[in-house]
Chain A
Amino acid sequence: MIEFRNVKKHYRSGNLDVEILRGVNLHVKKGEYIAIMGKSGSGKSTILNLLGALDSFNTGEYILAGRSVHKMRANRRTALRNNEIGFVFQQFHLIPNLSVYQNVRLPLTYSRKRLGRKKARVHNLLDEVGLLHKKRAKPAQLSGGEKQRVAIARALVNEPSILLADEPTGSLDEATTQSILSLFDRLHESGVTIVMITHDIEVANRAERIVHLQNGVLL
């Protein structure tokens, strides 16, 4: 499903050339649930950005469902993000002036997929995450856990085959963390491929496989 072959990423900071990834190799099977662990600043988020085609690397190859992502032009990568990938971020990244309903519906606005009744789909997802009653609320009116559940609903609205989660429970309390992880478990059971970045071993243990990022390589 996902394959990274010798991916290297570096950037310039002033006169310094900072090497983040020094040849990452990763293979994730379809429907697999993996956790990537590593210290702060080790490049975990960089890997997630590369997996989500939000950023590009310097050398290497990225194959997603048989397609060479590294050779794609910007608009093809955008379409890939919209059709195949759902994102869940630690800071939720909801648009503040849009309602819960509008935030969840947003990926459908940009979608070329034919998904039938879009309104019903958004409602079903909000019902699944237990927030249908707050569909008109603005993000500022929600708790952290509710925001993350809205973000998960948004990530799933386009029926992606891959869910990329960057510290999805990083800003949540224990009870909310468990409810979010249960939601991930259910998604995994339904066949969604999940790649989760975390520094919390207990959270990582919920995944099928854990890989560690150390000195710019995955172990």
Chain B
Amino acid sequence: MKILSGFKMALYGLWSNRTRVFASMIGVIIGMFAVIVLSAIAIGVKDSLMKQMGNLGAEQILVMPGRALDTANGQKDLLSGLTSIPSTLTIEDAKAVEKVPNVNYVMPELETINWVQYEDKKVQSALIGTSHQYTRMQHSKLEEGRFFTEEEQDAKAKVIVLGNNIHNALLGKQDIPEETNNTDSADSQQSLWKKLLNLLTGDSVAAEEPSLVGKTITIQDTPYKVIGVLAPNAALGTSTDNNVMIPIETALETTSMKNLTKMTVEASSMDVVDEVDAAVFSAIKENHSEIDFSVVKQDQMLGALGKVTSILQLMLVGITVIALLISGTGIMNVMVMSVRERTREIGIRKALGATTFEIMIQFFFETLLLCFIGGVIGIGLGYAFIEVWNNNIELFALVLPVWAVKLALYTTLACGCLFGIYPALKAARMNPSKALRFE
């Protein structure tokens, strides 16, 4: 019998016991599904964060509260340095940085949580005080209206730009935390029915509802004129959809916030970034009695992120190994049981001329195929899950790299080889006359 015949025998053996085979395959299917989905989540999160960090241009430098300690290799340890220290950065720091040579622009930001009200609708949002350069520096897009100008910023104008979710919520198009009573079932049901109807008719709610641009909303009893709405920006961690933006000067005057959440400094060119980085640090340090802030370049941010995702990937490898060990052990037990149940069959095959090698190869292929088919099903289900996720959930895209599929396939085959040896040897070593007498 050739190896091909052994393969055919194994296929037939699996098909003949398909119910038991499928039951034993479930472990591998779940294991592989988990590996594929977790890989896709890890890579998706990494890509999403990297993309957002990449939005911070190579010529931009971030100044954040908290001290990032230097590691042994001279890099900033952003993972352990930036703790929840209250910010001591002020608008004066921003003004000092503006005077640093080769600084093109400084964009200060401060942030607080506030209730935003339009007529009887009241929703909670992140109130951001920032500069007129925000959309350029953050690559944000407007869905309608405009962003505030330098003149409005200097004049401390009461103008506001709404994040997409906040705009929709104030119009009653989207459910986010509200203070009013209309979270009642009747209203949310109406909203749900409206959504369903719109889906069926292809109409959009926006076509029926007026925009808030030009309307007045209030924050802590202060009226603000809505001048623009940001385009949807569903992203992991840094979405602007639930934010509202007012000029920084207005924020400093109308809110209790006096310290900056962060500031983004733009150097005049990439060639002077290192020089500007040091000069910005010195300029801020002059205003502070101690180093309670950090100046971080894009490459340092990406490095820190890389470290996080590396840990994530390492965890993934650990989960993969555990999942495969569990499913592999399960399959080995099933195969050992199968060998025992089929003792007489093995005896008959040996009596009819099957060699030790031929019996071994048949049972070895059975385990290998069992793992392989289970692995392929698990990968297929994982892929289907990723497709469904990517087509329906906008939070971040799951990314399935080819290497993850290869890794899953190779490991499932390795698992089959490893856990197939023992049952195969057990079957092959049977004495034919004893096997024929087995009850």
On A, residues with C-beta under 8 Å from B are 49, 52, 54-55, 74-75, 78-79, 81-83, 87, 89, 93-95, 97-98, 106-107, 109-111, 154, 158
A98 to B431, CA, bound (A): 22
B residues within 8 A CB of A93? Answer: 344, 347-348, 351, 436
Q: Determine which of A78, A95, A109 lies in contact with B350 in the assembled complex, contact meaning CB atoms within 8 Å.
A: A78
Contact, CB under 8 Å: B433 / A79:
no
| 12 contacting pairs across A/B (C-beta < 8 A) | A55-B433, A75-B356, A75-B357, A83-B353, A89-B436, A93-B344, A93-B351, A95-B348, A98-B16, A106-B348, A110-B349, A158-B353
B residues within 8 A CB of A106? Answer: 348-349, 352
Given that A55-B433, A93-B436, A97-B16 are contacting pairs, would A75 and B355 also be in contact in the complex, using a CB cutoff of 8 Å?
A: yes
Q: Determine which of B344, B345, B351, B353 lies in contact with A79 in the assembled complex, contact meaning CB atoms within 8 Å.
A: B353
A14 to B352, CA, bound (A): 31
Contact with A along B348-380 (1 / 0, CB 8 A): 111111111110000000000000000000000
Question: Counting CB contacts under 8 A, is B186 at the interface?
Answer: no
Question: Counting CB contacts under 8 A, is B185 at the interface?
Answer: no
A residues within 8 A CB of B345? Answer: 95
Question: Counting CB contacts under 8 A, is B231 at the interface?
Answer: no
Contact with A along B278-315 (1 / 0, CB 8 A): 00000000000000000000000000000000000000
Given that A93-B344, A97-B16, A109-B5 are contacting pairs, would A78 and B353 also be in contact in the complex, using a CB cutoff of 8 Å?
A: yes
Contact, CB under 8 Å: B353 / A55:
no
A115 to B432, CA, bound (A): 25
Question: Counting CB contacts under 8 A, is B17 at the interface?
Answer: yes
Other A-B pairs beyond A54-B432, A93-B351, 13, CB < 8 Å = A49-B433, A81-B352, A83-B353, A93-B348, A94-B348, A98-B12, A98-B16, A106-B352, A109-B5, A109-B9, A110-B353, A110-B355, A111-B353
Within 8 A of A (CB), among B312-366: 344-345, 347-358
A residues within 8 A CB of B431? Answer: 55
A8 to B5, CA, bound (A): 38
Question: Counting CB contacts under 8 A, is B393 at the interface?
Answer: no
B residues within 8 A CB of A154? Answer: 352
Question: B344 to chain A: closest CB distance in Å?
Answer: 7
Q: Determine which of B1, B348, B356, B433 lies in contact with A109 in the assembled complex, contact meaning CB atoms within 8 Å.
A: B1
Contact with A along B235-271 (1 / 0, CB 8 A): 0000000000000000000000000000000000000
Q: Determine which of A49, A87, A98, A110 lies in contact with B1 in the assembled complex, contact meaning CB atoms within 8 Å.
A: A110
Contact residues on B (Cβ < 8 Å of other chain), bracket: 20 to 34
A residues within 8 A CB of B432? Answer: 54-55
A98 to B349, CA, bound (A): 12
B residues within 8 A CB of A87? Answer: 351-352
Number of A-B contacts (CB under 8 A): 62
Contact, CB under 8 Å: B17 / A78:
no
Interface majority SS on B: helix, strand, loop or mixed? helix
Contact, CB under 8 Å: A74 / B348:
no
Contact, CB under 8 Å: B433 / A107:
no
A residues within 8 A CB of B353? Answer: 78-79, 81-83, 107, 110-111, 158
Question: B56 to chain A: closest CB distance in Å?
Answer: 64
Question: A118 to chain B: closest CB distance in Å?
Answer: 12
Question: B91 to chain A: closest CB distance in Å?
Answer: 82
- CB closest residue in chain A, given B350: A78
Most buried by A among B9, B17, B355, B431: B355
Contact, CB under 8 Å: A97 / B17:
yes
A161 to B352, CA, bound (A): 14
Given that A52-B351, A82-B353, A87-B352 are contacting pairs, would A110 and B358 also be in contact in the complex, using a CB cutoff of 8 Å?
A: yes
Question: A31 to chain B: closest CB distance in Å?
Answer: 23
- CB closest residue in chain B, given A94: B348
Q: Determine which of A49, A55, A107 lies in contact with B352 in the assembled complex, contact meaning CB atoms within 8 Å.
A: A107
- CB closest residue in chain B, given A138: B16
A residues within 8 A CB of B358? Answer: 110
A158 to B354, CA, bound (A): 13
A residues within 8 A CB of B351? Answer: 52, 54, 81, 87, 93
Contact, CB under 8 Å: B352 / A74:
no
A residues within 8 A CB of B16? Answer: 97-98
B residues within 8 A CB of A54? Answer: 350-351, 432-433, 436
Question: A195 to chain B: closest CB distance in Å?
Answer: 15
A75 to B351, CA, bound (A): 12
Question: A159 to chain B: closest CB distance in Å?
Answer: 13
A154 to B349, CA, bound (A): 12
A residues within 8 A CB of B352? Answer: 81-82, 87, 106-107, 110, 154
